Amino acid sequence: MNNIGARIRNLRKEKGWSQEELAERAGLHFTYVGKIERSEHQVTIESLEKVTRALGVSLEEFFHLVQPVKEGEYNETLTRVINNLLNRSAEDQRKALYLLEFVLKWKDE
């Protein structure tokens, strides 16, 4: 699954919506939403605007964390951590942060 499809799926699931519900709110066909999420169809900018509007996020917010970190921007370990969290739900990201802070605090003691 590509990053755009994964991001749409995660935002949709965070709201507890089915593909059908997102499609209805965005004015799109539910099979189209499914194909976008599975990267079987490239989304147009017009459709992406409809989807993000339905999800209650701006295009800027949507793309803020879509692109993976490029090699060399950070050390390899930090790059892997960031890339593993990019398309996770906000709740999963909070849990990962909690665990990381717990481990680091435990190590410092």
And the tokens for 36?
Answer: 């976008």
What are the residue boundaries of the structural domains of the chain, listed by start? 3-64, 76-108
pLDDT, one tens digit per residue, over 10-65 is 889 889 999 999 999 999 999 999 999 998 988 888 999 999 999 998 887 787 75
CA-to-CA distance for 71 and 80, rounded, in angstroms? 9
Query: Among 15, 9, 75, 84, which residue's Cα sits nearest to residue 97?
Result: 84
As a CATH number, domain 3-64 is 1.10.260.40
Do 33 and 22 touch, CB atoms closer than 8 A? yes
